[in-house]
Amino acid sequence: MNPSDRIAALRAEIEAHNYAYYVQDSPTVPDAHYDKLLRELEALEAEHPHLVTPESPTQRVGAPAQDGFATVQHEIPMLSLGNAFNAEELTQFVQRVSDRLDKAGSQSEPAFCCEPKLDGIAIALHYEAGRLVRAATRGDGAAGEDITANVRTIPSVPLKLRGNDWPAWLEVRGEVYMPRAGFTALNERALAHNEKTYMNPRNAASGSLRQLNPAITRQRPLEFCAYGWGLIREPVKPLPDSQFERLRLFHEWGLRINPEMQRLQGLHELLAYYDRLAEVRDDLPYEIDGIVYKVDAIIQQDLLGFVSRAPRWAIAHKFPAQEALTVLDKIDFQIGRTGAVTPVARLQPVQVGGVTVSNATLHNMDEIARLDLHEGDTVIVHRAGDVIPKVLGAVVERRPADARRVPLPDSCPICDAPITREEGEVVARCTGGVTCGAQRLEALKHFVARRAMDIDGVGEKLLQALVDRQWVMHFSDLFRLTREQLLDLERMGEKSADNVLSSLEASKQTTLPRFLFALGIREVGETTARNLARYFGTLDRLMAAGVEELEAVPDVGPIMARHIQSFFHQEHNREEIEALIGLGVHWPAEVADSTVALPLSGQTWVVTGKLETASRDQVKADLQALGARVAGSVSAQTDCLIAGPGAGSKLKRAEELGVAVIDEATWLARRADYRGEEAAT
């Protein structure tokens, strides 16, 4: 085959793979094979530069950095949409559409093309004779910026349309966005290089599109999704008189459209669609902020026309805002079970994601410095689903003259003990230990928890009452409680007191892993406690172990080893352990096994869909603690996919590759088995 024919064949094959991967979300070849094809094409084009064409897959690398962006006039304005913020306003929109169509002589009930409203940047792609010749931002609707060089680097934007029945000139309009996984990875890289992070995926997509150097844009994980069109000249054949069908035609030409798009009729179907997507919103791989409804028939769109800067035939039904502005009144500091000092933002109450938010965690002092937060700042607060509210940053332009920086306190707000921050560690800690009231209550809550000593009936309120009376200041004090003491407490009847004492007695028969976990040794979770017990066999051997021996245990690194050794070298901890054993706490002997390994070592797992018993982050943490690598996408190297309701492309990909798929209940049972626990019911 001569070079020209081979180059043409390679381009066709690579573009087919691009279409399958980026548009249909259904890869047809392994990444290695794709890379091999691309390298062969690059080599051939290097040998025969006169055969290079602008639409070749090799030409997505971007052009040299620009001095600025040229202005592009939109021949048909890129209009905005009206908004509906509740069901009543959507009802009014549907009624207005029906009334206007009746008056215009259109008797048929309108159908609607419905799709998620992507939270990205609107752009227009201009294709001449099927080839991408220009891309522009929406700008002010009348004119935007020429970002052709940057858009050419986005894999899901075809440089040449598929087929041959496209118009001589086609303007496709759509959204450039950054998927959640790509946004997270981008910010993680920025943090690793001490660079500024982006507040949200939309902000990241906008910043990436407006890079003067397209080579930078090429490194950003951007995607494009078509939702409409502008000017169309000289169609080869009549285009469908349907928004839905016309977008499906665009899809055949190689453009990505949203897989959630549906054609529906009647208000009840529109509201059901809204409710369904609102429920799975946080599990989608991209951010959405509402639903867009468009009258489906083009002839009906023309009859309805426009008002001001928006079409009468379309509306955006917005979800409750996930971000809002409010004022950071104060930064307080909370003390956790291990003495960790966590700054907490006290905010002027604001509605975010459908709930009132007045507090948000700030994690640590580095986070405050990175966000440059001052008391008195106007800040952006984000909340998605059941996620804890997060401060994304300050609006520096609104910073008042009396805004105050907040330093790390020198002493604990609870016990007044010194606060220290070890070199190389992010978290500061109170040095008060069990003498600190905050640590005492949290340590006791951890000790009695189901996965620790499992003392049923001893909850936070009872523990607080016992601590307030100074009857329980250490773990062992729980086992010294008398019936008379319990009956002296408010709302404690004889039956309840007897149940508490029975639970305490029953809990004395435990296991070494549970006992170690209950002690609250810093960074020692359930899996590590289990590994320590199996490795050493006895508590005495573990307490006598040095750092090097501890590091030989799976899942124990140098820092954790120092924490474990330090805990057992502290006299008051040894005394407390002796007291617990003296009061009857016991466990069956463990068989020492120095070859113990984490059950999921060397395996790659993926989590997708909506989970009911825990957040996906918690499941990922559990997987990592068991030795697994948790990936963001499914590949041939994936060992297992945990799929909850609403699982989409990842589940489809796993089924295509023959990857094992389990549901949440199966995962919980396996996790319990890996940990040697009873499965949750």
156-172 as b/e: b if 16+ CB within 10 A = bbbbbbbeeebbebbbb
d(CA 427, CA 410): 14
Flag whether pLDDT at 65 surpasses 60: no
| Top-confidence residue, 137 or 621 | 137
Query: Which member of 117, 160, 294, 650 is catalytic?
Result: 117
CA distances from 489 to 131, 465, 466, 494 (A): 80, 8, 9, 11
Candidate from 171-185, 345-359, 577-591, 612-626 with smallest mean pLDDT = 612-626
Whole-number pLDDT of residue 62: 40
Yes or no: say if 285 and 180 are a contact pair by the CB < 8 Å rule: yes
Structure tokens belonging to residue 598:
């984490």
- % of the chain residues with pLDDT over 90: 47
Angle between helices 616-625 and 526-536 (to 10 degrees): 10
Q: What is the pLDDT of residue 63?
A: 42
- Give the bridge partners for 111, in sequence order: 265
Q: Mean pLDDT, to the nearest integer, of 552-560?
A: 81
- Of the pLDDT bands very low, low, confident and very high (cuts 50, 70, 90), residue 3 is confident
- What is the rounded CA–CA span in Å between residue 290 and residue 318? 4
Provide the 8-state DSSP code for 375. Answer: B
Q: What is the pLDDT of residues 105-128, one digit of tens each?
A: 887 889 999 999 998 899 999 999
- pLDDT-derived band at 596 (thresholds 50, 70, 90) equals low
**What is the reported pLDDT for 35?**
65
Q: Which of the four pLDDT bands, split at 50, 70 and 90, describes residue 64?
A: very low
> What pLDDT shows up at residue 104?
87
409-416 contact pairs (CB < 8 A, 24+)? 409/333, 409/341, 412/335, 412/341, 412/436, 412/438, 413/332, 413/333, 413/335, 414/335, 414/438, 414/439
End-to-end CA distance of the chain: 65
Type of residue found at 534: R
Contact 202, 186 (CB under 8 A): no
Domains and CATH numbers, the chain: 3-61 (1.10.287.610), 82-318 (3.30.470.30), 321-431 (2.40.50.140), 433-507 (1.10.150.20), 512-582 (1.10.150.20), 604-675 (3.40.50.10190)
61 close to 38: Cβ distance less than 8 angstroms:
no
Region 596-609 average pLDDT: 82
Residue 552 is classified by DSSP as T
Q: What is the pLDDT of residue 200?
A: 78
Pairwise CA distance, residues 587 & 452, whole Å: 13
- Are 114 and 227 within 8 A, CB to CB? no
Facing residues of 393 across strands? 380
Tell me: the pLDDT tens digits for 434-476? Answer: 668 888 888 899 999 999 999 999 999 999 999 999 999 999 9
Quick one: which H or E segment has residue 501?
helix 494-507
Report the pLDDT value the prediction gives residue 154, as an integer from 0 to 100.
93
Contact 650, 641 (CB under 8 A): yes
pLDDT score recorded for residue 166: 94
What is the pTM for the complete model shown?
0.54
Q: Which stretch of 12-26, 147-161, 224-238, 553-567 has the lowest confidence by average pLDDT?
A: 12-26
Q: Which helix (H) or strand (E) holds 381?
A: strand 378-382
Q: Could you give the CA distance from residue 17 to residue 204 in angstroms, rounded to a whole number?
A: 27
Give the phi and the psi of residue 206 in degrees, each rounded to 5.
-65, -45
For residue 338, name the pLDDT band (cuts at 50, 70, 90). confident
Sheet strand arrangement including 640-643: 629-630, 604-608, 640-643, 660-662
Q: What span, in angstroms and rounded, lies between the C-alpha atoms of 555 and 530? A: 10
Q: Under DSSP, is residue 400 helix (H, G, I), strand (E, B) or coil?
A: coil
**Is residue 495 annotated as a catalytic residue, yes or no?**
no
Of 379, 358, 357, nearest to 368 (Cα)? 379
Where are the extended beta strands (E) located within 546-622?
604-608
The predicted structure's pLDDT at residue 262: 97
